[in-house]
A and B are shown apart, each in its own frame.
Chain A
Amino acid sequence: MILRQQRQSALRRVLILGTATGALVFGSSAYAEETLKIGALGVMSGPFAGWGGVMCQTFKSRAGMWNDDGGVAIGDKTYKIEVVCVDDKGDPKGAQTGAEKLVSEGVKYIQGPNTDSTAESAKTVMEANGTVNMPYAFSKSLYKAPASQSILGMVASYQVGPVIYKWLMDNKGVKKIAFVSENNADPIKQRDEGSAGAKALGLEVVSDQETYESGTTDFFPILTKVIGTSPDHIVLSGVSPSDVGPLIKAARELGFTGTMSTETGQDPKAIYEVAGDASNGFIAAGGASTEAIRSDFMVKFIERYTKDWGEWNDVAGLYVYGPEIMIQTLQSAGPKAIEDTNVFKAALDGFVGKNPFLKDGGELKYVGRTDYGQPRQVSVPIVVQQVENGEYKPLFVGKLPD
C-alpha cells in the first residue's frame, strides 16, 4: 500500500515535471524573443545634458518605434532593441568605466560619447574589446587608422565651420571674425580649428583667445572684450546648450549687430526662450528635422520623441541618424555582425542604405575617406540653418565629402 502510494506520488511528480518542462520548452520556442542590447554612452547630466541626455532619449524613442513594429529583422531572426544608457558626466574616467560597464554587459554597439576627451578615453576600451562606437567628437585620431572601432556620428566642426564662414563671406560680407569658447579642451580645440579654417579662407581673425569658465552666468564681461575688437561675426566654438542662449542675449544687449554662429547641435526653441528676438538670425549646423526638408517619417519620429519625453529637442534630429544607420548596417551585414564587429566594419565600405528622414530621401552611407582615410563617418547631411522665432530655417544643405 505504502509502496503503491510512493509510486503514484513519484509518477505524479514525473508528470508534473514533464508537463512543466514541456511547457517551458514549447513556450520558449513559440514565444522566443531575441533582444539586441545597444549602448548609449555620453554626458547626460550637467550643462552638457542637452547632448548626451538627448542622445539617450533619441535612441530609446527610435528603439520604441522599432519594437512597436515587432522588432528589427536581422537575418532570419527578429530582435527587440534594448537601449542601455550610461552617463559619463563628461568625465574621461567616467567614459572609460562606462564603456567597460557596457562591454561587460555584452554590448557590442554604442552610440557616443559626446566630447573629444571622453571619446578618446573610451577609445582604449572600444579598440581592446572590439566594440563599435559612434562618438560625437571631432578628434581625427578616433577615426584614422590604426583606430578602427569609432565612427563619427555627425559633421565635424572643421568640416562645417569653413562652409559657414564662406557662406557668410559671400552672402553677408563678413570680413572680420572672432571666436569665443569655454575654457575646456574640446571647445578650445574646436576654436583653434575654426580659427585656422577662417584664416585659410582669408578672413581677419580679430579675437580667438577669449574663453569663459564653465558655469559662467553673466557673459557681459567676456563679450565686452570680444565685441571691443569689432568683429563682423562671432563664432561660439563648441558652445554647450546651456550657454548658447545667454551668450547670444548678452552679445545683442552689448550692442553687437553682426552675425553669430556655432558648429554644434542646438535646439532653437531653447535658444529663443532665453534670448528672445535676439536669437533671430543665429546660425547653427544641425540635423534634418526642419520643416522644409523633413520627411513624413521624421515627423513620426518627432511625434514619438515628444510623446516619450514631453518636448521635442532639435538635436534629436541629428542623433537619430546614429541608431538608424547602425541597425540598417547590421541588417545588411547579417547576423554574424551582432557578435563580431569585424563583420560590421567590413560592411562599412560598400554599405548604402536609405535616408528616411529627408523629404527628398537619399542615401545613408559611411564617408570620411577624405578626412580619415577610411569610411568612419555617417553621411549626415550638412544642414546649415538659422533661428527664426524659435524655429530653424535652413540656409543651405550640403553633402560631406566621400
Chain B
Amino acid sequence: MTQVMLNALVVGTTYALIALGITIIFSIMKVVNFAHGQLYMIGGFVVYYFNVVFGLPFWFGLVMSFLIVGLLGVAMELFLFRPVMLRVKREEVTMLLAMGTAVFLESLALIVFGEKQRGVPPIATGVIEVFDARLPTGRIVVIVVAAMLIAALMAFIGYTKTGRALRAMAQDREATALQGVNLKWLSAMGFGLGTGLAGLSGGLLVAIFAVHTGAGTAISIKAFLMIMIGGAGVLSGAILGGFVLGFLESVGYALLPGSLTFLIIFLIVICFLIVRPNGIMGKPWG
C-alpha cells in the first residue's frame, strides 16, 4: 500500500502542475483551452531539443519550455482568441477555436517533430526504498520542483501586483479596468502564463515519462477533468483536483481491474458534479 500512496503522490503532483495552466486561462478569459495538452506536448519537445539535440542542460531547456510556450500562448491570445472574442460573444466559439488550435498544433508537431516518442537522459539516478515501496530519485526531484513551481505561482498570484490584477480581472473585468489596469496586456500575459505553465509541466515531466506528438489530447481531457473536480478557475481547486484524480487513479488501479478504473472515476465525477456543479472549491476566485 505504501507504493500505491507514493504513486498517488507523484501522479497527483504532476497532475496538479498540469491543471494549473488550464485553470488560469479559464479564470481570466473564460476559455476552456482544449489545446492545453498540445502545449504541454510542445513543452516536452522544447526540452528534448535543447537537452538532447543541442546538448544544453536540462534546466536551461526547462526555462526555455516556459518562455517559448508562454510566448506561443501570448501569440494565440493576440491573434486568435482576442479578435474572435471581440466579435463573438458565444462561449462555444472559443471552445471550437481551442479545439481547432489543438488539431493544428498536433498536426504541425507531427510534421516538425516526427512520429517517435522522445525522452531525455535521467536528471537523477537511483531508487530510494521507503518501507516496501520504491521511489526513483528522478521522481523525487520532479515532485520537489513541481511543488516549488506551484508554491511560486501561488505566491505570484497572491502577493504581487500583477497577480492581484489577474485575480481582480477574473472577478470583474470592468471594475479592474476602472482601476487603470491595462486589460489587453494583462489578458495576453495571463494567457501566456497559463500556456507557459503547460509548457513547463510538459518540459519537467519529460524527465520521468516521455513525450510524443499524440500525447496532447489525453492530457487536455485529464486537465479538464481535474479542474472540473477542483473547481474551474480556482488555483487551489486545480491543485486539489490534480491530487484527487491522481489518488483515484492510483488507488483505482491497485484495487480494481484496470479496465474499470477510469470507468469508475468518470462515474464518481459525474455523480459529484450533479451534487456540486462548481467543483470542490466553487466559483473562480470569487
Contact = CB atoms under 8 A, between A and B. Distances in A.
Interface of A: 44-50, 53-54, 180, 183, 209-218, 220-222, 224-225, 241-242, 244-246, 249, 253-255, 267, 269-270, 273-276, 309-311, 313
A50 B253 contact: no
* Interface SS of B by simple majority: helix
Interface residues of B, number: 46
Contacts of A214: 218
Contacts of A274: 117-119, 210
B213 A211 contact: no
A160 to B, nearest CB: 22
B224 to A, nearest CB: 13
A209 B253 contact: no
Interface string B196-233: 00000000010011101111011101100000000000
B257 A217 contact: no
A54 B117 CA distance: 13
B14 A242 contact: no
Contact of A217 (B14, B106, B139): B14
Given A47-B214, A217-B209, A246-B210, A241 B7 contact: no
Nearest to B221: A215
A241 B117 contact: yes
A305 to B, nearest CB: 12
Given A214-B218, A217-B205, A222 B210 contact: no
Contacts of B217: 46, 215
B116 A313 contact: yes
Contacts, number: 138
A183 B258 contact: yes
* Interface SS of A by simple majority: helix
Lowest 3 A-B CB distances belong to which pairs? A215-B218, A274-B119, A46-B214
Interface string B122-155: 1000010000001010010000000000000000
A253 B205 CA distance: 16
B117 A245 contact: yes
A214 B208 CA distance: 18
Given A217-B209, A242-B214, A254-B134, A224 B114 contact: no
B219 A217 contact: yes
Nearest to B136: A253
B10 interface: yes
Contacts of A244: 117
B272 interface: no
A218 B116 contact: no
B101 interface: no
Contacts of B119: 245, 249, 273-276
Contact of B212 (A242, A253, A309): A242
B215 A242 contact: yes
Q: In this complex, which of B205, B252, B254 has the most chain A Cβ atoms within 10 angstroms of its Cβ?
A: B254
Contacts of B114: 309-311
B115 A273 contact: no
Q: In this complex, which of A221, A269, A274 has the most chain B Cβ atoms within 10 angstroms of its Cβ?
A: A221
20 contacts: A44-B110, A45-B214, A49-B214, A50-B212, A53-B115, A54-B115, A211-B259, A215-B222, A217-B215, A221-B7, A221-B254, A225-B258, A241-B115, A241-B212, A244-B117, A253-B127, A253-B139, A273-B116, A273-B119, A274-B119
A390 to B, nearest CB: 12
Contacts of B4: 221, 224
Contact of A45 (B106, B134, B222): B106
B258 to A, nearest CB: 4
Contacts of B7: 218, 220-221, 224
B116 A212 contact: no
B77 interface: no
Given A217-B14, A246-B210, A50 B117 contact: yes
B285 interface: no
Interface in B95-111: 106-107, 110
